Amino acid sequence: MFAVNTKSKNFPLIRRIILWASGIIIGLAIFFAYVAHVPIDEATDEMYSVLKTLFVVFTVLAVPSIAAIVFFAIQTHKEKQEFYKVRNKSTLGKKIKVFDVINMAWMAIFCALCVYPILYVLIGSFNQGADYAKGGVYLLPRLFTFENYRVVLEKAELWHSYLVTIGRTVIGTLTALVFTSIVAYALSRPNLKGKKVIYWINLLTMFFSGGLIPYFVIITAIGLYDNFLVYVIPGLYSVYNMIVISSFFKSVSGELHEAALVDGASEFRIWWQIYMPLSKPVLATVALWLAVGHWNSYFDTMIYTSSKDLHTLQYFLLQAIQSSTMTEGMTETMLQRVSAKTISLAAIIISIIPVLFFFPFVRKNFQSGIMIGSLKG
């Protein structure tokens, strides 16, 4: 049914993409099955017709999506058969202990506690404003509406702040990853002069700083105030990330470095063509930390900028939640259909969508990178 080469190096990535897309399609099929058959605030016959059409389309697409999930589940089972054969020969894991039951139950509760806040925000974002103010909206929207999302998506400030945040996340993550890995490579080399002194100076900065006011004075003095580069340059280097990457570089065989030097490669070329490709797990881990940090940041926007052109998405959400700016100028009738709270919930959902899409593709490298950072020192 599926012409997929399971032995290809790209198979894991292809599998993740297809599984993720299939999950989205099935989720949308369920979503449109729900909204096409429930009362919607201020809905017209035309809207219901469109929703029912979308329901039919995604239901049809859900069939091959389910087939794809079953196919890859079978492939995954075959890949693990050899592992289970070896595992079943030992006595480990054959008995289910009380600790295992308690541990699994606790992890299930913990996962539910992590997922439900997102679901709660999603449910509230689809509920009518005046009805939401009555309380009690926990599992499903009581009075369904798309109006909250329409109001949010029509805000030009949202899209501008989205572009600013995407720009700082992409540029800031890439530049910080390159700069930090260069320092980490240098400090991982045993022949670096003054290595111990440099290392301890770096560690000192992790525990002591000048404080916010001196830092603000420096930012202003070097011309970064009200400058897009204030999102990039101060975040170029992190001592903690350097230590994590340097720990992995130290685990790379020194014979590779010596062989490259014999072949005439420079230190820069060794770093770029040998160490960086070998360090994908730890680099993916650090890249995720950096990207999430940039995406969620709002404090630097609040302190180091005054221009609306530099407002980030999270700062836009902060203003929307604190001052209810997204409901300004609305009529009384409109304020019955939406509220500052439900609009804010819709904006939050829109802001986390890129992170939800990004994480599954680095999850495997993120897990192995975490283990590398915890075991190497």
Using 50, 70 and 90 to split pLDDT, how confident is the model at 1?
Answer: very low
| 3-state class (DSSP) for residue 85 | helix
Domain boundary among 92, 124, 147: 92
Between 148 and 366, the more confident residue is 148
DSSP string over 125-193: HTB-HHHHTT---SSS-SSB-SHHHHHHHT-HHHHHHHHHHHHHHHHHHHHHHHHHHHHHHHHH-TT-T
List pLDDT tens digits, range 6-36: 555 566 777 778 888 888 899 889 988 888 8
Examine residue 49 and state whether it is found in any structural domain, yes or no: yes
Q: Which residues form the domain of 17?
A: 1-92
For residue 119, is it within any domain?
A: no
User: Which of the four pLDDT bands, split at 50, 70 and 90, describes residue 236?
Assistant: very high
Confidence band, pLDDT 50/70/90 cuts, at residue 322: confident
Residue 354 is predicted with a pLDDT of: 80
Q: What token pair was written down for 287? A: 């890249």
pLDDT, averaged across the chain: 82
In a domain, 320, yes or no: yes
In a domain, 196, yes or no: yes
pTM: 0.76
Strand partners, 40: 144
Q: Tell me if 139 is assigned to some domain.
A: no
Q: Which residue has the higher pLDDT, 322 or 345?
A: 345
> 314 and 185 share a domain?
yes
On whether residue 219 sits in a domain, the answer given is yes
Measure the CA–CA gap between 348 and 121, rounded to whole angstroms: 8
Residue 149 included in any domain: no
Cα 372 off chain centre by = 20
Look at residue 304 in the predicted model and tell me its pLDDT. 92
CA separation for the pair 198, 192 (Å, rounded): 10
Q: What is the pLDDT of residue 253?
A: 83
- Higher confidence at residue 335 or residue 250? 250
Share of the chain above pLDDT 90, in %: 19
Give me the pLDDT at residue 375, please: 44
Q: Does residue 181 carry a pLDDT above 90? A: yes
356 with 217, same domain: the answer is: yes
Query: Residue 139: which pLDDT band, with cuts at 50, 70 and 90?
Result: confident
Helix (H) or strand (E) holding 313: helix 313-323
> What are the pLDDT digits (tens) for 49-87?
888 899 899 999 999 999 888 888 887 777 666 666 655
Highest average pLDDT, of 149-153, 308-312, 356-360, comes from 308-312
Q: Residues near 133 by Cβ (< 8 Å), separated by ≥ 6? A: 339, 341
Does pLDDT of 206 surpass 90? no
